[in-house]
Amino acid sequence: MAILVFIEHAEGVVKKSSLEAVSYAAAMGDEVIGLAVGSIDEGALKAAGNAGASKVLHVTDEKLEKGIIQAYAQVINQAMESTGAEILVLAKSSLGDPVAARVAAKQGAGFVSNVSDLPDTSNGFKVKRSIYTGKAFANVEIKTDKKILGLKKNAVELKTDGSEATVEKFDVLLSDDSFKVTITSQDKATGEILLPEAELVVSGGRGMKGPENWGMIEELAKTLGAATGCSKPVSDMGWRPHHEHVGQTGVKVSPQLYVAIGISGAIQHLAGVNSSKNIVVINKDPEAPFFAAADYGIVGDAFEVVPKLTEALKAAQN
Protein backbone atom coordinates (compact mmCIF):
# COMPACT_ATOMS: atom_id res chain seq x y z
CA MET A 1 0.00 0.00 0.00
CA ALA A 2 1.41 3.38 -1.00
CA ILE A 3 1.99 6.25 1.43
CA LEU A 4 1.18 9.72 0.09
CA VAL A 5 3.41 12.65 1.10
CA PHE A 6 2.34 16.25 0.54
CA ILE A 7 5.41 18.18 -0.64
CA GLU A 8 5.72 21.90 0.09
CA HIS A 9 8.09 24.11 -1.86
CA ALA A 10 9.13 27.74 -2.05
CA GLU A 11 11.19 29.74 -4.52
CA GLY A 12 11.59 26.67 -6.72
CA VAL A 13 13.04 24.49 -3.96
CA VAL A 14 11.39 21.62 -2.08
CA LYS A 15 11.36 22.44 1.63
CA LYS A 16 13.66 20.38 3.81
CA SER A 17 10.80 19.63 6.19
CA SER A 18 8.91 18.00 3.30
CA LEU A 19 11.95 15.95 2.33
CA GLU A 20 12.09 14.79 5.95
CA ALA A 21 8.45 13.75 5.61
CA VAL A 22 9.39 11.71 2.52
CA SER A 23 12.23 10.01 4.42
CA TYR A 24 9.90 9.33 7.34
CA ALA A 25 7.37 7.69 5.03
CA ALA A 26 10.10 5.65 3.32
CA ALA A 27 11.25 4.32 6.70
CA MET A 28 7.76 2.86 7.19
CA GLY A 29 8.56 0.39 4.42
CA ASP A 30 5.86 1.02 1.81
CA GLU A 31 6.04 2.75 -1.56
CA VAL A 32 6.20 6.53 -1.16
CA ILE A 33 4.37 8.80 -3.60
CA GLY A 34 4.89 12.54 -3.36
CA LEU A 35 2.30 15.17 -4.27
CA ALA A 36 3.37 18.68 -5.24
CA VAL A 37 1.08 21.58 -6.13
CA GLY A 38 2.02 24.67 -8.10
CA SER A 39 4.92 25.90 -10.21
CA ILE A 40 8.21 24.14 -9.57
CA ASP A 41 10.83 22.69 -11.87
CA GLU A 42 10.53 18.98 -12.57
CA GLY A 43 14.19 18.49 -11.67
CA ALA A 44 13.56 19.75 -8.14
CA LEU A 45 10.74 17.24 -7.73
CA LYS A 46 12.88 14.39 -9.06
CA ALA A 47 15.29 15.08 -6.21
CA ALA A 48 12.58 13.98 -3.78
CA GLY A 49 13.57 10.49 -4.85
CA ASN A 50 16.85 10.90 -3.00
CA ALA A 51 14.80 11.17 0.17
CA GLY A 52 12.85 8.01 -0.63
CA ALA A 53 9.98 8.80 -3.02
CA SER A 54 9.44 6.50 -5.99
CA LYS A 55 7.40 9.08 -7.89
CA VAL A 56 5.90 12.53 -7.51
CA LEU A 57 2.46 13.59 -8.73
CA HIS A 58 2.54 17.20 -9.91
CA VAL A 59 -0.55 19.40 -10.12
CA THR A 60 -0.08 22.61 -12.09
CA ASP A 61 -3.56 24.16 -12.37
CA GLU A 62 -3.18 27.96 -12.38
CA LYS A 63 -6.07 28.35 -9.94
CA LEU A 64 -3.92 26.68 -7.26
CA GLU A 65 -1.14 29.25 -7.44
CA LYS A 66 -2.84 31.44 -4.83
CA GLY A 67 -2.38 28.81 -2.12
CA ILE A 68 -6.01 28.49 -1.01
CA ILE A 69 -6.15 25.83 1.70
CA GLN A 70 -9.55 24.42 0.75
CA ALA A 71 -8.34 23.79 -2.81
CA TYR A 72 -5.15 22.10 -1.59
CA ALA A 73 -7.25 19.81 0.57
CA GLN A 74 -9.41 18.90 -2.42
CA VAL A 75 -6.30 18.00 -4.44
CA ILE A 76 -4.97 15.76 -1.66
CA ASN A 77 -8.33 14.05 -1.27
CA GLN A 78 -8.34 13.17 -4.96
CA ALA A 79 -4.73 11.99 -4.83
CA MET A 80 -5.48 9.69 -1.89
CA GLU A 81 -8.40 8.20 -3.78
CA SER A 82 -6.40 7.82 -6.99
CA THR A 83 -3.38 6.16 -5.36
CA GLY A 84 -5.35 4.15 -2.80
CA ALA A 85 -3.13 5.60 -0.07
CA GLU A 86 -4.43 5.05 3.44
CA ILE A 87 -1.65 7.07 5.09
CA LEU A 88 -0.85 10.73 4.39
CA VAL A 89 2.37 12.23 5.74
CA LEU A 90 3.17 15.93 5.62
CA ALA A 91 5.34 18.40 7.48
CA LYS A 92 3.82 20.20 10.43
CA SER A 93 3.61 23.77 9.18
CA SER A 94 1.31 26.76 8.86
CA LEU A 95 0.08 25.22 5.60
CA GLY A 96 0.26 21.55 6.53
CA ASP A 97 -1.86 21.69 9.69
CA PRO A 98 -5.02 23.33 8.27
CA VAL A 99 -4.81 21.29 5.06
CA ALA A 100 -4.44 18.04 7.02
CA ALA A 101 -7.42 18.89 9.23
CA ARG A 102 -9.67 19.36 6.20
CA VAL A 103 -8.45 16.16 4.54
CA ALA A 104 -9.00 14.25 7.79
CA ALA A 105 -12.61 15.44 7.96
CA LYS A 106 -13.26 14.43 4.35
CA GLN A 107 -11.51 11.06 4.58
CA GLY A 108 -12.71 10.15 8.07
CA ALA A 109 -9.05 9.81 9.00
CA GLY A 110 -7.34 10.05 12.36
CA PHE A 111 -4.95 13.03 12.39
CA VAL A 112 -1.95 13.36 14.72
CA SER A 113 0.25 16.44 14.48
CA ASN A 114 3.76 17.12 15.83
CA VAL A 115 4.76 13.48 15.35
CA SER A 116 8.31 12.84 16.54
CA ASP A 117 8.95 9.14 15.86
CA LEU A 118 8.03 6.26 13.56
CA PRO A 119 4.75 4.46 14.26
CA ASP A 120 4.70 1.43 16.52
CA THR A 121 2.68 -1.18 14.63
CA SER A 122 3.42 -4.15 16.92
CA ASN A 123 -0.04 -3.85 18.45
CA GLY A 124 -2.24 -1.50 16.48
CA PHE A 125 -0.93 1.83 15.14
CA LYS A 126 0.60 4.13 17.74
CA VAL A 127 2.62 7.29 17.22
CA LYS A 128 4.59 9.49 19.60
CA ARG A 129 3.97 13.22 19.43
CA SER A 130 5.51 16.21 21.15
CA ILE A 131 3.17 18.08 23.52
CA TYR A 132 3.27 21.01 25.95
CA THR A 133 5.65 22.95 23.67
CA GLY A 134 8.14 20.10 23.65
CA LYS A 135 8.22 19.46 27.40
CA ALA A 136 6.55 16.04 27.16
CA PHE A 137 5.49 13.31 24.75
CA ALA A 138 2.21 11.51 24.24
CA ASN A 139 1.68 8.10 22.66
CA VAL A 140 -1.46 8.22 20.54
CA GLU A 141 -3.24 5.25 18.99
CA ILE A 142 -4.97 5.82 15.66
CA LYS A 143 -7.84 3.37 15.13
CA THR A 144 -9.25 4.68 11.85
CA ASP A 145 -8.46 2.94 8.58
CA LYS A 146 -6.97 6.10 7.11
CA LYS A 147 -4.30 8.01 8.97
CA ILE A 148 -2.70 11.45 8.64
CA LEU A 149 0.61 12.27 10.31
CA GLY A 150 2.00 15.80 10.67
CA LEU A 151 5.75 15.41 11.17
CA LYS A 152 7.70 17.64 13.53
CA LYS A 153 10.72 19.33 11.94
CA ASN A 154 14.06 17.60 12.53
CA ALA A 155 12.29 14.58 14.01
CA VAL A 156 13.94 12.13 11.61
CA GLU A 157 17.20 11.91 9.72
CA LEU A 158 16.95 13.04 6.12
CA LYS A 159 17.64 10.22 3.67
CA THR A 160 19.84 11.26 0.73
CA ASP A 161 20.95 7.99 -0.87
CA GLY A 162 17.90 7.25 -3.02
CA SER A 163 17.54 7.60 -6.78
CA GLU A 164 15.61 10.17 -8.79
CA ALA A 165 11.83 9.95 -8.60
CA THR A 166 9.68 9.90 -11.69
CA VAL A 167 7.40 12.92 -12.05
CA GLU A 168 3.88 12.48 -13.39
CA LYS A 169 1.33 15.14 -14.23
CA PHE A 170 -1.75 14.73 -12.05
CA ASP A 171 -5.03 16.24 -13.24
CA VAL A 172 -7.68 17.15 -10.70
CA LEU A 173 -11.28 18.32 -10.79
CA LEU A 174 -11.64 21.49 -8.75
CA SER A 175 -15.07 22.66 -7.60
CA ASP A 176 -16.02 26.30 -7.23
CA ASP A 177 -16.67 25.66 -3.52
CA SER A 178 -12.91 25.41 -3.00
CA PHE A 179 -12.43 28.98 -4.17
CA LYS A 180 -15.03 30.83 -2.12
CA VAL A 181 -12.19 32.31 -0.06
CA THR A 182 -10.30 35.15 -1.73
CA ILE A 183 -6.75 36.05 -0.71
CA THR A 184 -6.49 39.81 -1.13
CA SER A 185 -2.84 40.22 -0.10
CA GLN A 186 0.09 38.33 1.34
CA ASP A 187 2.93 39.53 3.57
CA LYS A 188 5.82 37.12 3.33
CA ALA A 189 8.87 36.97 5.54
CA THR A 190 12.05 37.96 3.75
CA GLY A 191 15.69 37.14 4.22
CA GLU A 192 18.35 34.82 2.89
CA ILE A 193 17.30 32.07 5.32
CA LEU A 194 13.80 31.92 6.80
CA LEU A 195 13.19 30.89 10.40
CA PRO A 196 10.78 27.95 9.90
CA GLU A 197 13.29 26.11 7.68
CA ALA A 198 16.53 27.22 9.36
CA GLU A 199 19.06 24.70 10.64
CA LEU A 200 20.93 27.45 12.51
CA VAL A 201 19.37 30.47 14.24
CA VAL A 202 21.00 33.49 15.90
CA SER A 203 18.61 35.53 18.08
CA GLY A 204 18.98 38.75 20.01
CA GLY A 205 17.08 40.25 22.93
CA ARG A 206 16.80 43.51 24.84
CA GLY A 207 20.39 43.04 25.93
CA MET A 208 21.34 44.36 22.50
CA LYS A 209 20.18 47.78 23.79
CA GLY A 210 18.82 49.00 20.46
CA PRO A 211 18.24 48.25 16.77
CA GLU A 212 21.40 50.12 15.83
CA ASN A 213 23.44 47.29 17.38
CA TRP A 214 21.89 44.49 15.33
CA GLY A 215 24.71 44.53 12.81
CA MET A 216 26.80 42.16 14.91
CA ILE A 217 23.86 39.73 15.20
CA GLU A 218 23.49 39.75 11.43
CA GLU A 219 27.23 39.37 10.87
CA LEU A 220 27.40 36.33 13.18
CA ALA A 221 24.36 34.84 11.45
CA LYS A 222 25.87 35.42 8.01
CA THR A 223 29.14 33.83 9.11
CA LEU A 224 27.28 30.75 10.36
CA GLY A 225 24.82 30.65 7.45
CA ALA A 226 22.02 31.13 9.98
CA ALA A 227 18.65 32.83 10.13
CA THR A 228 18.11 35.75 12.51
CA GLY A 229 15.48 35.86 15.24
CA CYS A 230 14.56 37.94 18.25
CA SER A 231 12.61 37.91 21.49
CA LYS A 232 9.06 39.26 21.74
CA PRO A 233 9.97 42.55 23.48
CA VAL A 234 12.38 43.32 20.66
CA SER A 235 9.71 42.91 17.97
CA ASP A 236 7.13 44.74 20.12
CA MET A 237 9.45 47.74 20.36
CA GLY A 238 9.92 47.73 16.61
CA TRP A 239 13.62 46.94 16.72
CA ARG A 240 13.06 43.92 14.48
CA PRO A 241 10.18 42.76 12.22
CA HIS A 242 7.49 40.61 13.82
CA HIS A 243 8.23 37.63 11.59
CA GLU A 244 11.55 37.26 13.45
CA HIS A 245 9.82 36.93 16.82
CA VAL A 246 10.69 33.50 18.27
CA GLY A 247 8.56 32.16 21.10
CA GLN A 248 5.26 30.68 22.19
CA THR A 249 3.27 33.41 20.43
CA GLY A 250 5.74 33.78 17.56
CA VAL A 251 7.69 31.36 15.40
CA LYS A 252 8.54 28.02 17.00
CA VAL A 253 11.88 26.71 15.76
CA SER A 254 13.67 23.37 15.89
CA PRO A 255 17.15 24.08 14.51
CA GLN A 256 20.31 22.09 15.02
CA LEU A 257 21.78 25.16 16.77
CA TYR A 258 20.07 28.09 18.49
CA VAL A 259 22.25 30.97 19.69
CA ALA A 260 20.54 33.34 22.15
CA ILE A 261 22.31 36.67 22.70
CA GLY A 262 21.14 39.08 25.37
CA ILE A 263 17.91 37.13 25.96
CA SER A 264 16.98 36.42 29.57
CA GLY A 265 14.98 33.29 28.78
CA ALA A 266 11.37 33.97 29.73
CA ILE A 267 9.21 30.84 29.67
CA GLN A 268 7.32 32.11 26.60
CA HIS A 269 10.56 32.35 24.64
CA LEU A 270 11.80 28.96 25.85
CA ALA A 271 8.54 27.40 24.63
CA GLY A 272 9.48 28.40 21.10
CA VAL A 273 13.03 27.05 21.12
CA ASN A 274 13.15 24.03 23.44
CA SER A 275 13.03 21.62 20.49
CA SER A 276 16.42 22.90 19.33
CA LYS A 277 19.14 20.24 19.23
CA ASN A 278 21.74 22.54 20.81
CA ILE A 279 21.28 25.88 22.60
CA VAL A 280 24.07 28.38 23.20
CA VAL A 281 23.37 31.32 25.52
CA ILE A 282 25.45 34.51 25.72
CA ASN A 283 24.44 36.79 28.59
CA LYS A 284 26.28 38.95 31.09
CA ASP A 285 23.82 37.98 33.87
CA PRO A 286 24.91 34.61 35.34
CA GLU A 287 21.43 34.25 36.87
CA ALA A 288 19.61 34.53 33.54
CA PRO A 289 17.00 31.71 33.38
CA PHE A 290 18.12 30.78 29.87
CA PHE A 291 21.32 29.21 31.22
CA ALA A 292 19.25 26.45 32.83
CA ALA A 293 18.05 25.36 29.38
CA ALA A 294 21.39 25.86 27.60
CA ASP A 295 23.74 23.17 26.37
CA TYR A 296 26.54 25.73 26.38
CA GLY A 297 26.69 29.11 28.09
CA ILE A 298 28.98 32.12 27.99
CA VAL A 299 28.74 34.63 30.84
CA GLY A 300 29.96 37.87 29.38
CA ASP A 301 29.12 41.14 27.65
CA ALA A 302 27.65 40.36 24.22
CA PHE A 303 29.35 43.45 22.79
CA GLU A 304 32.69 41.86 23.63
CA VAL A 305 31.90 38.17 23.13
CA VAL A 306 30.00 38.21 19.83
CA PRO A 307 32.59 40.11 17.73
CA LYS A 308 35.33 37.79 19.02
CA LEU A 309 33.19 34.73 18.30
CA THR A 310 32.50 35.96 14.77
CA GLU A 311 36.18 36.69 14.20
CA ALA A 312 37.15 33.21 15.43
CA LEU A 313 34.57 31.55 13.17
CA LYS A 314 35.80 33.47 10.13
CA ALA A 315 39.40 32.48 10.94
CA ALA A 316 38.36 28.83 11.27
CA GLN A 317 36.56 28.96 7.90
CA ASN A 318 39.64 30.35 6.22
Residue 155, C-beta contacts closer than 8 angstroms, at least 6 positions apart: 20, 24, 115, 116, 117
Q: CA-to-CA distance for 262 and 209, rounded, in angstroms?
A: 9
Interior angle at CA 197, CA 114 and CA 4, nearest 5: 55
Residue 94 pLDDT: 86
Residues tagged in the binding site annotation: 206, 262-269, 283
What's residue 184's pLDDT? 67
Report which residue type is found at 191. Answer: G
Q: What is residue 185's DSSP assignment?
A: -
- Beta bridge partner(s), residue 247: none
Residue type, 231: S
The pLDDT, as a whole number, for residue 68 is: 84
DSSP string of 1-67, one letter each residue: --EEEEE-EETTEE-HHHHHHHHHHHHTTS-EEEEEESS--HHHHHGGGGGT-SEEEEE--GGGGG-
Note the residue count of the chain. 318
C-alpha distances (whole Å) from 18 to each of 24, 25, 55, 92 are 10, 11, 14, 9
pLDDT at 156: 86
Q: How far is CA 290 from the centre of its chain?
A: 23
Q: Residues 200, 257: contact at Cβ < 8 Å?
A: yes
Amino acid at 120: D
Q: Give the separation between CA 213 and CA 46, rounded to whole angstroms.
A: 44
Binding-site residue set for FAD: 206, 262-269, 283
How many whole angstroms separate alpha carbon 234 and alpha carbon 210? Answer: 9
Q: Quick check: 243 and 253 in contact, CB under 8 A?
A: no
Mean pLDDT by 10 residues, the chain (318 residues): 93 91 94 95 93 95 80 95 97 93 96 95 95 86 97 88 93 80 64 78 96 96 95 95 92 93 95 92 97 96 96 92
Helices (H), 126-170: none
Structure confidence at residue 189 (pLDDT) = 57
In order of start, what are the domains of the chain with their CATH numbers? 3-179 (3.40.50.620), 195-317 (3.40.50.1220)
